[in-house]
């Protein structure tokens, strides 16, 4: 059921991929952290993978050699691991986020600063939130029957997961299109990142808000009716 929903929304455009012709982000992107929370890192990640390739088989265009699933996959497994509320799984997410930040910053096509301001300021903020007790507290909030706490928990997880999602997408955008196929010339990237700098915060806030509006009532419902919870099936 979750995979089917992901497939349908995979065909609904949310925003264009700046710098490409015909590429677009899908509405399904906001589902990734929700899937991690509801299904866990493994089933949530598999739903994203199956949904992505099923959508490609049904005609959804792929911009990254079929690796389009990676951003949503990273967001789903990150939220799923954080939900487990364990030091070991939290460490996995921290290491994953740190590695993605380092890979992005070290890529020669990355504009680290735009107008003397860090391009990845939202990603850095999300990483700082991940490092604070908030990420642990949010996991507890997500397992209560308090609607307000559930909403705060979904917000924290959606913020962290969505920024990990965007980092992964940025790396694919540079490596595949700029360094493997070279369909985008290297000289074009500074201008692209300058444009993205103004666009991505708005896109990410819309995705986070969508995840909160959809995810909060779902998590709250399943917490109040445990036998319906996907994790208990």
The encoded tokens of residue 200 equal 């991505």
70 and 172 in contact (C-beta within 8 Å)?
yes
DSSP three-state, residue 114: strand
Q: What is the CA angle 15-130-7, rounded to 5?
A: 35
**Residue length of the chain:** 233
Instruction: Write out pLDDT tens, residues 32-83.
Output: 999 999 999 999 999 999 999 999 999 988 878 889 999 999 999 999 999 9
Average pLDDT, rounded, for the chain: 93
Which of 78, 15, 67 shows the shortest CA–CA distance to 41?
A: 78
5 and 54 in contact (C-beta within 8 Å)?
no
Q: What is the count of structural domains for the chain?
A: 1
Residues near 208 by beta carbon (within 8 Å), at least 6 away in sequence = 30, 155, 158, 159, 162
Q: What domain range includes position 57?
A: 2-232
Reported as a pLDDT band with limits 50, 70 and 90, residue 229 is: low
């Amino acid at each position: 059921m979750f995979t089917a929903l992901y497939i349908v929304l995979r065909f609904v455009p949310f925003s264009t991929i700046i710098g490409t012709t015909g590429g677009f982000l899908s509405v399904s992107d906001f589902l990734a952290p929700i899937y991690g929370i509801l299904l866990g890192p493994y089933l949530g990640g598999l739903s994203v993978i199956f949904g992505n390739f099923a959508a490609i088989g049904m005609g959804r265009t792929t911009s990254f050699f079929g690796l389009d699933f990676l951003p949503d996959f990273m967001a789903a497994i990150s939220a799923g691991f954080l939900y487990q509320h364990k030091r070991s799984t939290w460490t996995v997410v921290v290491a994953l986020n740190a590695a993605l930040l380092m890979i992005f910053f070290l890529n020669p096509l990355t504009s680290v600063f735009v107008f003397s301001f860090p391009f990845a300021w939202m990603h850095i903020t999300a990483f700082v939130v991940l490092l604070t007790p908030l990420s642990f507290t949010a996991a507890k909030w997500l397992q209560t029957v308090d609607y307000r706490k559930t909403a705060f928990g979904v917000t924290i997880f959606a913020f962290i997961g969505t920024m990990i999602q965007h980092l992964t997408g940025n790396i694919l955008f540079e490596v595949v299109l700029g360094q493997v196929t070279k369909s985008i010339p290297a000289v074009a990237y500074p201008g692209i990142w300058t444009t993205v700098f103004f666009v991505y915060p708005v896109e990410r806030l819309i995705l986070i808000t969508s995840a909160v509006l959809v995810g909060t009532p779902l998590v709250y419902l399943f917490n109040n009716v445990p036998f319906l919870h996907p994790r208990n099936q």
